[in-house]
Chain A
Amino acid sequence: MADLAHSGGVHEAHHPKLQHHFEDLDQQREASTLGMWLFLVTEIMFFGGLFCAYLIYRGASFDAFAEASRSLDLYLGGFNTAVLIGSSLTMALAVWAAQVSKRKALIVFMILTIVLGAVFLGVKVIEYSGKFAHHHVPGDSFEWAPPYGDPANEAGTEMFFSLYFAMTGLHAAHMIIGMGFLAYLLIPAWQGKFNADWYNPVECFGLYWHFVDIVWIFLFPLLYLIGRH
């Protein structure tokens, strides 16, 4: 079946970023993009377990979930949603800047993305500390009482906050890891290594960042909006 013939093509000058086991940069780029998409599939399954739990428990203790949802701050949540969508925009612009070899724009948009991510996490810290102050953190000290709601719903609301912390916590962890990666990518960006020929890492990171964003787009209505009224 196989002829071990000499590969016919003359080897072009190697791009410094072309790894030895790939034929050309196109193959390398396709492989890394496919790899990133596959990784995102595993991420969907990872969050999927939590969404599944939310769906089941919301049906099981609907009133408690509605009450607990009303105690969340819609303004902070809404503000954060806008911040995160803004960071997706700056990230998309960063990918564009890399593709058209605009070094300065790339650096500016990457830094902006990190800053917006930090603003999001800062607001999250304010929200979390409110939960601690009001004993809305699951555990022995959990309390559910007026003005927030009916103490009879304590078990169900504690479940809501278990899910709230698990889901937003996992999402925040993804953002922190993402910001770390983005900061790390700033080094080659600063050195001007990303350009029209090779912008793979920025593009793949962009996919990741948009994914984290989309997770929030689902979390926000589930936790803050539906069942509020």
Chain B
Amino acid sequence: MTTHAAAAPGSNYLTNGFSLKSWLLTKDHKRIAILYMISITVFFVLGGLFAFVVRLELLTPAGDLMEADTYNRMFTMHGVVMIFFFLIPSIPAVLGNFLVPIMIGAKDLAFPKINLASWYLYNIAGVITLAAIAMGGVDTGWTFYTPFSTTYANGYVVLTVVGLFINGFSSIFTGLNFIVSIHRMRAPGLTWFRLPLFIWGHYATSLVIMLGTPVIAITLALLAAERALHLGIFDPALGGDPILFQHLFWFYSHPAVYIMILPSMGVISEIISAFTRKKIFGYHFVAFASIAIAILGFLVWGHHLFVSGQSIYAGLVFSVLSMLVGVPSAVKVFNWMATLYQGSISRQTPMLYALGFIGLFTIGGLTGVMLATIGLDVHVHDTYFVVAHFHYIMVGGAIMGYLGGIHFWWPKMTGRLYPNFWSKLSAGLVFVGFNLTFFPQFILGYLGMPRRYWSYPDEMQVLNVLSTAGATILGVGYAMPLFYLLWSLKGGRVADDNPWGAYGLEWETSSPPPTENFLHDPVVTGGPYDYAELERKRG
């Protein structure tokens, strides 16, 4: 361990050029990560506003705040923006972009220009989608089921789909860069089983991105061709099958959930190891669990079609395969718990997020096993039970990991520490607000409240009011980091190279890192998370 913050005072990737051009034409993965963070935050706020409108409408049983048609557009745009423009790119494009090259001891990703192009494609796609939203939006739900989206929709389906098609390429570029970099650019001595679990998570995610995204791209392209050019691939009048659309759609969109959760699991492994000061229990199992989830994830899409009339035998197979995903997921959770056992736990903000992740992900995962059971799924299909389940995974899982990771690596990215009190308060609010928002939805769904409806029976109001109240708290919890993190850029305490005493290549370079990441090329001589060794060295 060597520190060399003093070696090059004031020279880092942030101070290497201040002009707008030096940012907009940068090929530095760290700057691109910051650019991504800004764009993604804009979409997160936007998607959050749509969600707030939805929850506001559901405060009362009657549909009184807006027209039913407006409500359809609001939840559709909430889904489209949050899934495609926030959850999928969030951790890979921000934390992954920043950390993957540093963690493998490389100077940059393999294809810096493609990396920058990915950010531009993301923004072009975002602007096109925003244009569709500004002109009136879409009312199909984020799932775009045919023939609803082709024959009957009365929104800007084609424009939105063009936006998502382009956005897919930005994902593919990121995934391609990660896989090639991890294969070809690791530092000398950094073998596969010395890689941090964050890297394993991103490698598995990239595999899913590369194999899944092209399928949604062709599906959406065919959808657009059908709506715009009357090329009737999914049109029942021509013998086409709308169910084929659902199969192709979920072939990507189910694995997309693993695009969101796998990098988050990588983040959680890093945080838990750092704040228990222990090696991750069962490192190999946690690493392979990521790969197992990526592979199994491609074999379970049919569980979205249990009530679509697909063959009962297909349903049985998909049901069993879906439950199998629970195995590697549980392997991870149990290994994190075992890591906590007898660890020297410190309750820093990132750790609060990580512990929150474990709780929420476990609830989301267990209800996922329930939904994989055909009999139960038929009962709660398309109800708020499903809504609550996937929010526990995607919001409770992916966003907890994203925020935990942002806090954990904030000192590395900016050279400043966030304020302790406010960040712990925000982590607490997010956890409480999240549970208050979504736990009542499990009950609502079980009682039979269907998703995507703008009104409901009077007796369901209490639970809906609780949910909206929770959403308000959650909104405050999410908004707070925006303010105190921005404040910390000027007012935060200056961080040293390794403020957590954590183990990993990223903590051995200065905070913020120099443009070339390391002043000397790193050579790796040992396995990951070797805290015992670190303590020995520190004496």
| Interface residues, chain A, with chain B CB atoms under 8 Å away | 1-7, 19-22, 27, 30-32, 34-35, 38-39, 41-50, 52-53, 56-57, 60-61, 64, 138-140, 155-156, 158-159, 162-163, 165-166, 170
Contact = CB atoms under 8 A, between A and B. Distances in A.
Contacts of A43: 214
18 contacts: A7-B523, A20-B516, A27-B184, A35-B111, A35-B180, A41-B210, A44-B214, A45-B215, A46-B214, A57-B240, A64-B239, A138-B229, A138-B232, A139-B230, A155-B239, A159-B238, A159-B239, A159-B240
Interface in B500-532: 503, 505, 508, 516, 518-528, 530
B2 A21 contact: no
Contacts of B469: none
Contacts of B184: 27, 30-31, 34
B308 to A, nearest CB: 15
Interface in B36-74: none
B353 to A, nearest CB: 26
A57 B112 CA distance: 42
B528 A1 contact: yes
B231 A138 contact: yes
Contact of B222 (A38, A39, A49, A64): A49
Interface in B185-212: 185, 187, 189, 194, 210-212
A55 to B, nearest CB: 10
A56 B245 CA distance: 12
Given A31-B110, A162-B232, A163-B233, A156 B525 contact: no
Interface residues of B, number: 63
Contacts of A158: 232, 238
Contact of A56 (B179, B217, B237, B244): B244
B377 interface: no
Contact of B180 (A34, A46, A165): A34
Interface string B169-184: 0001000100111011
Given A3-B523, A21-B112, A34-B184, A53 B244 contact: yes
Interface string B274-296: 00000000000000000000000
Given A41-B210, A155-B237, A4 B112 contact: no
A3 B525 CA distance: 7
A1 B530 contact: yes
By Cβ-Cβ distance, the 7 closest A-B pairs, closest first, are: A1-B526, A46-B214, A49-B218, A21-B107, A21-B108, A45-B214, A7-B521
Contacts of B108: 20-21
Nearest to B188: A7
Given A5-B520, A39-B176, A165-B231, 9 more contacts: A1-B528, A2-B1, A4-B4, A5-B523, A47-B218, A50-B218, A57-B239, A61-B239, A159-B233
Contacts of B210: 38, 41-42, 45
Q: Which of A3, A5, A19, A49 has the most CB of B within 10 A?
A: A49
B349 interface: no
B192 to A, nearest CB: 15
B172 A42 contact: yes
B530 A46 contact: no
A90 to B, nearest CB: 28
Contacts of B183: 34
A162 B180 contact: no
A166 to B, nearest CB: 6
Interface string B76-107: 00000000000000000000000000000111
B110 A49 contact: no
Nearest to A20: B107
Contacts of B213: 42
A30 B516 CA distance: 21
B382 interface: no
B248 interface: yes
A44 B172 CA distance: 14
Contact of A4 (B2, B109, B217): B2
Given A7-B521, A139-B230, A166 B225 contact: yes
B520 A138 contact: no
Given A7-B520, A57-B239, A166 B233 contact: yes
Interface string B13-46: 0000000000000000000000000000000000
B239 A56 contact: no
A19 B185 CA distance: 13
A149 B232 CA distance: 20
A189 B200 CA distance: 40
B241 interface: yes
B219 interface: yes
A194 B344 CA distance: 58
B112 to A, nearest CB: 7
B211 A45 contact: yes
A20 B108 CA distance: 9
A38 B524 CA distance: 28
A213 B516 CA distance: 41
Interface string B233-277: 100011111001000100000000000000000000000000000
Contacts of B222: 49-50, 53, 166
A139 B229 contact: yes
B311 to A, nearest CB: 14
A155 B238 contact: yes
A30 B217 CA distance: 28
A31 B111 CA distance: 9
Given A46-B218, A56-B244, A162 B231 contact: yes
Contacts of A45: 210-212, 214-215
A41 B176 CA distance: 10
B264 to A, nearest CB: 23
Most A Cβ at <10 Å: residue of B107, B185, B231: B231
Contacts of A53: 222, 233, 244, 248
B310 to A, nearest CB: 13
Contacts of A48: 214-215, 218
B134 to A, nearest CB: 29
A1 B180 contact: no
Nearest to B181: A31
B241 A60 contact: yes
A1 B214 contact: no
A1 B233 contact: no
Nearest to A44: B214
B248 A49 contact: yes
A166 B172 CA distance: 22
Given A49-B222, A159-B233, A4 B185 contact: no
A60 B238 CA distance: 11
